[in-house]
Amino acid sequence: MFRYILVLFFLLISLSLQANQLKIDNCQRDNVFITYKDSLDYTRACQAIETIINIFKKYNFETSEIIKISFQEKVALEIKSLDEQVTVDEIQVYALYNSATNEMLVSQFNTPYIQSRKAFDYLNVTPSMHESIIVHELAHRFLHLYYRDFLNQNNPDHATHEFFAYFIQINALNSLDQNLVLALWPESEFTSDLSINSLVHGTHPHKFGVMSFRYAISSDVITQILEGSFYSGDQILTNFI
Ligand SMILES: [Zn+2]
């Protein structure tokens, strides 16, 4: 009897180890690496990649550069000292794009941290919201590559990046979640291109995101960004700071 219990014990241990093992797969694309534990995270990452590839195909841009997404239990943003030498603090974030390693780090969906978080400060994190956050990070990666390889220009400024990434993210939501997001901060709107700047983003990033979507659909800013001819408030600010 004891032997059977022992066999059962080891069987259970090995099954739980397998379930927790990190897996790497490529969404059937040569340039994609997804590291994950939960296969639903993997499926959402593949769908997000499909979405961003199709968007940029419309702008005649395709890339064979590496697309790397790692799902983690905890994604930490390191706060460095002024000389960038030591990490003085870290904060847990939903996701981030590390342009030094070209890697996107995304929190696993099925964790107490994500389930306790609110999307856009007020809304439940649904699978559609989760996938849209992956799309947001991919939008940063693709815009960076598009400027470098298609326009042969420097990476756009921070405010332009966030404007673009939020527009693409909110556009990718299912209609139910999109309506909930666009009902937030109903009075807030950008009044000019200059008001699209890092100060406004830094004060309230998600509100900046909703304002970006509203401004984008009533202007040709997205076209200007893709032509490399957009001037955000950041470029004016840098002349003053
Ligand atoms: Zn962003």
Q: How far is the CA of 22 from the centre of ligand 1 (A)?
A: 26
* 3-class secondary-structure state, position 232: coil
- 204, with CB counted inside 10 A (0-12, 13-18, 19+), is middle
- Using only C-alpha atoms, the chain has a radius of gyration, in whole angstroms, of 20
pLDDT band at 7 (very low <50, low <70, confident <90, very high): low
Give a yes or no: residue 7 inside a domain: no
pLDDT digits (tens, 9 = 90+) for 25-57: 999 999 999 999 999 999 999 999 999 999 999
Q: How far is the CA of 19 from the centre of ligand 1 (A)?
A: 31
Give a yes or no: residue 9 inside a domain: no
* 3-class secondary-structure state, position 80: strand
Pairwise pLDDT comparison (17 vs 163), residue with the higher score: 163
What six digits make up the tokens of 116?
Answer: 């306790």
Q: How far is the CA of 45 from the centre of ligand 1 (A)?
A: 17
Three-class SS of 28-73 = CCCCEEEEECCHHHHHHHHHHHHHHHHHHHHCCCCCCCCEEEEEEC
Q: How far is the CA of 116 from the centre of ligand 1 (A)?
A: 21
What six digits make up the tokens of 115?
Answer: 């389930």
Residues 94-100 have a mean pLDDT of 84
Q: How far is the CA of 240 from the centre of ligand 1 (A)?
A: 24
- The neighbouring-strand residues paired with 68 are 33, 103
Q: Check residue 83 and give its pLDDT.
A: 78
pLDDT band at 166 (very low <50, low <70, confident <90, very high): very high
Q: Check residue 8 and give its pLDDT.
A: 55
Q: How far is the CA of 161 from the centre of ligand 1 (A)?
A: 7
d(CA 211, CA 192) in angstroms, rounded, equals 11
Q: How far is the CA of 137 from the centre of ligand 1 (A)?
A: 6
Give a yes or no: residue 6 inside a domain: no
Residues with CB under 5 A from ligand 1 (ion): 165
pLDDT digits (tens, 9 = 90+) for 124-140: 999 999 999 999 999 99
Statement: residue 100 has pLDDT above 90: no
**Residues sharing a CB contact under 8 Å with residue 63, sequence separation 6 or more, in sequence order:** 31, 56, 142, 145, 149
d(CA 237, CA 116) in angstroms, rounded, equals 36
DSSP 207-224: HHHHHHHHHHHTSSHHHH
Question: Which domain, by its residues, includes 54?
Answer: 22-240
Q: How far is the CA of 41 from the centre of ligand 1 (A)?
A: 20
Phi, then psi, of 186 in degrees rounded to 5: -60, -25
Q: How far is the CA of 64 from the centre of ligand 1 (A)?
A: 22
- Predicted TM-score of the model (pTM): 0.86
Give a yes or no: residue 174 inside a domain: yes
What is the count of structural domains for the chain?
Answer: 1
Q: How far is the CA of 162 from the centre of ligand 1 (A)?
A: 5
Give a yes or no: residue 2 inside a domain: no
d(CA 207, CA 182) in angstroms, rounded, equals 10
Give a yes or no: residue 114 inside a domain: yes
